[in-house]
Amino acid sequence: MERFAVPAPTLARRMLGWRLVSEAGGGRTSGRVIETEAYLGPDDPASHAATRAGRTRRNASMFEGGGTAYLYFTYGMHWCFNVAAGAPGEPGAVLVRALEPLEGREVMVDRRGRSRDLVSGPARLCQAMGLDGTHDGHRLDGPPLWMEAGDAPDEGQVGVSGRVGIRRAERWPLRYFIEGHPDLSDGKAAPADPRTLPPELRWIHRPNRSVRRSASTTESA
């Protein structure tokens, strides 16, 4: 679980290529992570951890330390899956926005009621993999939901943009994706503009840099 104990932007970049495996709801499904978004703590106005109240019942899992699942319900009907980042007590999370389907395609089609766009979007992938609020707070080191290392994309394949579906801090460079992948979500993202970051967050412009010093294997050169 130590691999999750890094800041959210670093984890979001690093998770590209990892596999998410679910045995939730019966039937094994899995997919390769191809699109993520980082959400920070109180300094990030778009984060659920930015509220004046700080820790609330909904966002508690964002404070539980790297590797904790954070699932929230939105728009009255959709679940979204995040992975908490960093150290316990320091809020931050990575929203998983899209996967490339690997295992359990038939189960996904059955749950989704259609055969395309199975896991291309944060709410779609929760539906396809049987994820909901019962998995909030689960530690991602075993059944029914966990992550495995996978093929890291080449540096040149990684795209960066603003985050999808938000108004505040919309040009912060916190969405990471495998460039040109056919299974990306179809949300519209503003182009990234690192100049809109407050000075203390400028390191986010290249989150992989800060990883490399301590990273072991999965980072490509």
Partner DNA sequence: GTCCGGATATTCT
Partner DNA sequence: GAATATCCGGACC
| In the complex, minimum distance from the CB of residue 7 to DNA, in angstroms, rounded to a whole number | 14
20/164 with CB nearer DNA: 164
- Written as six digits, the tokens of 83 are 């992975």
26/76 with CB nearer DNA: 76
Cα gap 48→39, rounded to integer Å: 8
12 by DSSP, 3-state: which?
helix
- Rounded alpha-carbon distances, angstroms, from residue 58 to 48, 73, 94, 133, 153: 8, 9, 16, 10, 33
168/202 with CB nearer DNA: 168
| In the complex, minimum distance from the CB of residue 116 to DNA, in angstroms, rounded to a whole number | 9
- Written as six digits, the tokens of 49 are 């951890």
| In the complex, minimum distance from the CB of residue 147 to DNA, in angstroms, rounded to a whole number | 16
187/194 with CB nearer DNA: 187
| In the complex, minimum distance from the CB of residue 117 to DNA, in angstroms, rounded to a whole number | 5
Centre a 10 Å sphere on the Cβ of residue 171 and count the other Cβ atoms it contains.
17
Cα gap 137→119, rounded to integer Å: 22
| In the complex, minimum distance from the CB of residue 138 to DNA, in angstroms, rounded to a whole number | 16
- Written as six digits, the tokens of 162 are 């603003």
57/213 with CB nearer DNA: 57
- Which stretches of the chain bind DNA, using CB under 7 A? 37, 39, 46-49, 51-53, 56-59, 62, 70, 72-78, 80, 82, 93, 95, 112, 114, 117, 121-125, 163-168, 185, 187
Cα gap 93→209, rounded to integer Å: 19
